[in-house]
């Protein structure tokens, strides 16, 4: 609507078209194209790139298992420790074998009006009250389950007592913003989680929870099946790292 209203005054301004007006027109077009290009191709691209990387990783794992004729499970588990709706994972991780969860922000429909002022959704609880460390300690399985051998999903949580709220098992892939990296480094120190992907997201952000790169940690699986191999990415040297899925693709082409 604003473009329609501004069309006639703008057209009148540039008629007749002098050299100065041509220069002004080129400058305005260049500014608009630069902003559009940055906003659509650079700013917050990490939250999209990570979804594509995870999906490609899953497809590579499925191919690797098919080539090896393995009966191992091809289920990928992913946990997003981010403010809700940070990534479009529901529309991109389309394979049913990808089991993902994220921090929620459910509206307080069943909460009385007088209590809604102090209502905190799951994402608020994670970041504000009780905070990341306390939330992980209360809602995730003991970190002891990811320090020993064997995949976490095969280990029963130590404190899942009868009648208590079941705790989430640690996923094969943890996705979070760089802002949270220091906290997770301290809480998960000594576990089998290792960084396997990092992607640029933005130079600036108005939400402190979304600042920095998008980071993925993979839960190492003692090399048993290769199901949790390193997520494919391009390193700082410009050379593409070869994942186990790429190796399987080369084997398939050679057959």
Relative to beta strand 173-177, strand 214-219 is antiparallel
Confidence of residue 76 (pLDDT cuts 50, 70, 90): very high
DSSP readout, 137-205?
A: HHHB--GGGGTSSS-GGGS--TT--TTSPPPBPPPSEEEEEGGGHHHHHHHTTTSSEEEEEEE---S--
Confidence of residue 4 (pLDDT cuts 50, 70, 90): confident
> Within 13 Å and on the Cβ side, how many CA atoms surround 230?
15
Structural domain total, the chain? 1
Report if residue 34 sits inside a domain.
Answer: no
Whether this prediction's pTM lies above 0.85 is answered by no
The answer on pLDDT for 193 being more than 50 is: yes
Tell me how far apart the alpha carbons of residues 164 and 17 are, in angstroms, rounded to a whole number. Answer: 75
Average pLDDT, the chain: 82
Report if residue 26 sits inside a domain.
Answer: no
The tens digit of pLDDT for each residue in 109-141 reads 888 888 888 899 999 999 998 899 999 999 999
Report if residue 126 sits inside a domain.
Answer: yes
The answer on pLDDT for 188 being more than 60 is: yes
Give the pLDDT of residue 67. 82
Q: Is 75 exposed, middle or buried (0-12, 13-18, 19+ CB in 10 A)?
A: middle
Report if residue 189 sits inside a domain.
Answer: yes
Report if residue 162 sits inside a domain.
Answer: no
Give the pLDDT of residue 15. 81
Report if residue 114 sits inside a domain.
Answer: yes
Mean predicted confidence (pLDDT) in 71-82:
89
Q: Looking at per-residue confidence, does 173 or 249 come out higher?
A: 173
Which residues sit opposite 219 in a β-bridge?
A: 193
Give the pLDDT of residue 148. 64
Report if residue 99 sits inside a domain.
Answer: yes
Confidence of residue 25 (pLDDT cuts 50, 70, 90): confident
Report if residue 134 sits inside a domain.
Answer: yes
Tell me how far apart the alpha carbons of residues 24 and 6 are, in angstroms, rounded to a whole number. Answer: 16
Give the pLDDT of residue 199. 96
CA angle 227, 233, 238 (to 5 degrees): 145
Mean predicted confidence (pLDDT) in 189-194:
95
- Note down the domain range covering 127: 45-149+167-219
Q: How far apart, in Å, are the Cα atoms of 7 and each of 1, 13, 36?
A: 10, 10, 20
């Amino acid at each position: 609507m604003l473009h329609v209203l501004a069309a006639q005054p703008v057209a009148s301004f540039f008629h007749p078209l002098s050299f100065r007006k041509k220069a002004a027109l080129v400058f305005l077009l260049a500014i608009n194209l630069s902003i559009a290009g940055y906003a659509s191709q650079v700013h917050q691209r990490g939250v999209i790139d990570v979804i594509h990387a995870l999906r490609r990783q899953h497809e590579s794992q499925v191919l690797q298992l098919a080539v090896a004729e393995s009966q191992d499970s091809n289920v990928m588990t992913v946990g997003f420790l981010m403010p809700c709706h940070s990534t479009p994972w529901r529309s991109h991780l389309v394979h049913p074998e990808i089991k993902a969860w994220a921090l929620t922000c459910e509206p307080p429909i069943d909460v009385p009006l007088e209590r809604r002022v102090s209502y905190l959704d799951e994402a608020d609880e994670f970041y504000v009250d009780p905070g990341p460390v306390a939330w992980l300690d209360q809602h995730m399985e003991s970190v002891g389950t990811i320090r020993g051998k064997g995949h976490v999903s095969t280990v029963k949580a130590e404190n899942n007592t009868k009648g208590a709220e079941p705790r989430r098992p640690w996923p094969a892939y943890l996705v979070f913003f760089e802002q949270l990296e220091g906290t997770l480094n301290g809480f998960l120190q000594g576990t089998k989680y290792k960084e396997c992907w990092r992607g640029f997201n933005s130079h600036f952000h108005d939400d402190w929870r979304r600042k920095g790169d998008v980071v993925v940690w993979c839960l190492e699986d003692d090399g048993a099946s290769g199901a949790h191999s390193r997520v494919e990415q391009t390193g700082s040297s410009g050379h593409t790292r070869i994942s186990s899925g790429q190796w399987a693709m080369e084997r398939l082409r050679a057959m």
